[in-house]
Amino acid sequence: ADSAMDVDSKFPPLLNDRLLRAARGEPVDKVPVWVMRQAGRYLPEFREFKTKHEFFEICQTPELACEITLQPIRRYPDLDASIIFSDILVIPQAMGMTVEMRPGVGPVLPQPLVTPQDLERLSFPVDVSTSLKYVMDAITLTRTKLEGRVPLIGFSGAPWTLMGYMIEGGGTKTMSKAKKWLYQHPAESKKLLSMLTSTVVDYLVEQAKAGAQLLQVFESSAEYLGPHLFNEFALPCIRDIRLKVKTALEELNISVPMTVFAKGAHYALEDLASTGYDVIGLDWTMDPVEARKRVGPNVTLQGNFDPCALYASPEKIRDSAEEMVKNFSKTRYIANLGHGIYPDADPAHLETFLKAVHSV
């Protein structure tokens, strides 16, 4: 068996543990707040950096990924967490697929999986500790450079969301090519999902060993699946990831809370609450009071301010943010947006949002 690892002793002591306390269900002085895509194009310092470096160059260079991760932390003293700068599509890359990030377009995979025979093109099993070593190095460096100011979140895409990009070859309105696999090739779809599940498990465990203090699983494409497909193809992988990561980390004596964010999966809230994740992320379409009723008291909720509500006036932002926190209550709650912040958001409006959350 692996020997116990004392990861925390390698880093400066954590000075702000609100996020981890809320994730574990412990009382907090103020509601912790962070924002998906908090390091991104809405920040002038990010856009300036992007004139000199390409997206995946930043992801693959620990010093650059660290610098970008720290940008929002420097700007906003109210942020209670950092999230490592990377992308969910590093996993398809590690499995041998080409992924390009085209400015103004988003991710493009020029040779997507077309038929089940294409599974043979994938490298599997993946030794993530070598092929994604740059992510672990970025995590270790960033946690050191954070000097304990806030915890560092690691993340991965969930298998169905990754499968979607690998088959569609990029973003899509319908996911119809990937869903066609689910209907026409269910066994091969499950094979691919299981390859992804085991890769994601190893990847998240390595991130925790490298210093990640919370792990978030992004099932951003849950909205394309109804309850039937979600229960058959997505939920079992999400459940498996939680179980296997938890078991592996317990053996190493590492305790790291886990979050699942299944965008658009309002139909699956009760099922998600039964998967054992410490935190469930909600998109902005869900009502806080209703969501709490449905999941019960033993899980932390995260979310769910409409990213577009940041276009409102500062007064309106303040009012709606305070109302949101009151509706969720300060127990077992982490404030966030209901999805990533948009590139045209006003950085000053984000500050208003963060301060409003802390004012409650």
Site residues (vs ligand CP3, CB under 6 A): 36-41, 50, 55, 83, 85-89, 101, 103, 106-107, 155, 171, 218, 220, 263, 340
* Look-up of token digits 């992801």: 59
Q: What's the min distance (Å) between Cβ of 187 and ligand CP3?
A: 26
Q: Is-cis flag, bond preceding 304, omega within 30?
A: yes
Name residue 156's beta-bridge partners. 217
CB neighbours of residue 139 within 10 Å: 27
Q: What's the min distance (Å) between Cβ of 102 and ligand CP3?
A: 8
Phi and psi of 206, rounded to 5°? -60, -40
Q: What's the min distance (Å) between Cβ of 298 and ligand CP3?
A: 26
Specify the residue, 91 or 292, whose C-beta has the smaller distance to ligand CP3: 91
Specify the residue, 279 or 292, whose C-beta has the smaller distance to ligand CP3: 279
Q: What's the min distance (Å) between Cβ of 101 and ligand CP3?
A: 6
Specify the residue, 282 or 292, whose C-beta has the smaller distance to ligand CP3: 282
Residue nearest to ligand CP3 (CB): 220
CB neighbours of residue 103 within 10 Å: 9
Specify the residue, 88 or 235, whose C-beta has the smaller distance to ligand CP3: 88
Q: What's the min distance (Å) between Cβ of 17 and ligand CP3?
A: 20
Residues, the chain: 360
Specify the residue, 213 or 220, whose C-beta has the smaller distance to ligand CP3: 220
**By the 8 A CB rule, do 303 and 271 touch?**
no
Specify the residue, 242 or 292, whose C-beta has the smaller distance to ligand CP3: 242
The DSSP letter of residue 342 is P
Specify the residue, 264 or 292, whose C-beta has the smaller distance to ligand CP3: 264
**By the 8 A CB rule, do 28 and 80 touch?**
no
Rounded to whole angstroms, the Cα distance separating 138 from 359 reads: 33
Q: What's the min distance (Å) between Cβ of 87 and ligand CP3?
A: 5
Residues 6+ apart with CB under 8 A from 20: 14, 151, 213, 214, 257
Q: What's the min distance (Å) between Cβ of 186 and ligand CP3?
A: 24
Rounded to whole angstroms, the Cα distance separating 335 from 19 reads: 10
